[in-house]
């Protein structure tokens, strides 16, 4: 059996799709050929798992002819597919599945694409409005539609030998401790500037952690955040505050580095979902987005969000221009939230 999964385009969404992907593999067994189509920048995230046999990369905005729409349609037409499951909500992926000759197409009836799906699932609604539900449950709904019944919401990510080798090098290069607490921090958010916590707050928080506890702070980043985390680390100016700005930034390395950390402090961004999937406690700084969308009872997390009339707005930039939702999340509030995880690690190491 040949099954095509049009996987989520965002890092965090792909992590939250893991329970559904796992259920689909369990439903069809090891004999099925499951191909996952996703963005090139997500390469390596699910490496090491047995859920997906092959990854194909597709980006409608790319200049690389290997990953463009024409190449993807041509490649799809070389396989005799049984069905496609569309994790994405876009009209584009439904058109791609039709153009690729996939006879059975399952997805949510959104973005005007219902007529292109052979099995169009109703979108959860309250009255006429789309209801915000945990994305893990939203994706599991797709799995159930093809008979892959599962209530297992547990997130997980496999580690790879390559990632472990690279993480060894990162730990050595940055003189990070092999025993003792290390707090990962992530400053960015692909959604937009409204998700970002002020750099000065990160400076204050990192300085307080390393001067009042035994913990180190490791700033992780993608290519866009490199310069920001360099500036934050320079401003803190403490040997126990380091960044990955000059280290390998592939996802396999990031997985292994997060796995070695004690806990994470992050904006509502992809790396915080990775840390959660690796079993790490996460303190998440919410501003314009809805915590319910990422809620998962299997994850150890503290979600911090200030109460304002404008929260959440769901906008990539603050429409009122004051960004109070993130400005008023104080470093002290975050420090108090992460401190128990540091203390717990100390207790365990002594024990």
Over pLDDT 90: what percentage of the chain? 92
What are 66's two structure tokens? 């290997």
One fold for 2-145 and 161-350: yes
Bridge-based pairing of strands 182-186 and 129-130 is: unpaired
Mean pLDDT score across all residues of the chain: 95
Closest CA to 199 of 190, 210, 191, 188: 188
Predicted local confidence at residue 346, as pLDDT = 58
CATH 3.40.50.2000 is held by the domain 161-350 = yes
Q: Which residues 6+ apart lie within 8 Å of 144 measured at CB?
A: 150
Asked if residue 57 lies in contact with residue 44, where contact means CB atoms within 8 angstroms, the answer is no
Q: What angle do CA 304, 341, 270 make, to 5 degrees?
A: 50
* Residue 217, SS3 per DSSP: strand
CA dist., res. 36 & res. 93, Å (int): 13
Bridge-based pairing of strands 54-57 and 83-86 is: unpaired
Range 60-87 average pLDDT: 96
Place of tokens 């070389």: 78
Q: For the chain, what are the domain ranges?
A: 2-145, 161-350
State pLDDT tens for residues 242-295: 999 999 999 999 999 999 999 999 999 999 999 999 999 999 999 999 999 999
The DSSP code sequence of 53-71 is SEEEE--TT-S-TTSSHHH
Q: Is the pLDDT of residue 157 over 80?
A: yes
Looking at domain 2-145, its CATH architecture is 3-Layer(aba) Sandwich (3.40)
Asked if residue 94 lies in contact with residue 107, where contact means CB atoms within 8 angstroms, the answer is yes
CA dist., res. 139 & res. 108, Å (int): 10
First to last CA, the chain: 52
Q: Is the pLDDT of residue 350 over 50?
A: no
CA distances, 39 to each of 20, 134, 139, 158, 306 (Å): 18, 22, 18, 19, 34
State pLDDT tens for residues 45-69: 998 899 999 999 999 999 999 999 9
* Residue 321, SS3 per DSSP: coil
Q: Is the pLDDT of residue 347 over 60?
A: no
């Amino acid at each position: 059996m040949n099954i095509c999964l049009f996987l989520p385009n965002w890092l965090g969404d792909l992590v939250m799709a893991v329970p559904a992907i796992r259920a689909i593999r369990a439903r069809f067994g090891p004999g099925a050929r499951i191909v996952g189509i996703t963005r090139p920048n997500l390469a390596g995230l699910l490496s090491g798992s047995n859920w997906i046999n092959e990854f194909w990369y597709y980006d409608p905005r790319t200049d690389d002819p290997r990953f463009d729409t024409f190449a993807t349609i041509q490649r799809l037409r070389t396989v005799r597919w049984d069905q496609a499951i569309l994790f994405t909500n876009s009209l584009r992926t439904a058109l791609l599945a039709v153009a690729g000759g996939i006879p059975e197409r399952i997805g949510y009836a959104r973005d005007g694409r219902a007529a292109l799906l052979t099995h169009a699932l109703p979108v959860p609604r309250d009255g006429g409005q789309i209801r915000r539900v945990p994305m893990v449950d939203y994706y599991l709904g797709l799995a159930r539609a093809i008979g892959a019944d599962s209530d297992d919401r547990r997130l997980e990510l496999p580690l790879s030998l390559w990632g472990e080798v690279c993480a060894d090098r990162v730990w050595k290069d940055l003189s990070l401790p092999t025993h003792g607490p290390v707090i990962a921090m992530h400053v960015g958010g692909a959604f937009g500037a409204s998700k970002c916590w002020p750099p000065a707050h990160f400076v204050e928080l990192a300085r307080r952690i390393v001067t009042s506890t035994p913990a180190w702070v490791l700033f992780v980043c993608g290519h866009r955040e490199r310069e920001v985390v360099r500036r934050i680390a320079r401003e803190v100016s403490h040997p126990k505050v380091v960044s990955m700005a000059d280290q390998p930034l592939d996802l396999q390395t990031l997985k292994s580095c997060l796995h070695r950390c004690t806990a994470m402090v992050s904006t509502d961004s992809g790396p915080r979902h990775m840390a959660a999937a690796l079993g790490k406690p996460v303190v998440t700084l919410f501003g314009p987005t809805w915590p319910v969308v990422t809620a998962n009872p299997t994850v150890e997390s503290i979600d911090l969000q200030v109460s304002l009339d404008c929260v959440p707005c769901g906008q990539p930039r603050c429409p009122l221009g004051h960004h109070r939702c993130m400005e008023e999340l104080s470093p002290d509030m975050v420090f108090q939230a992460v401190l128990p995880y540091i203390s717990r690690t100390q207790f365990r190491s002594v024990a």
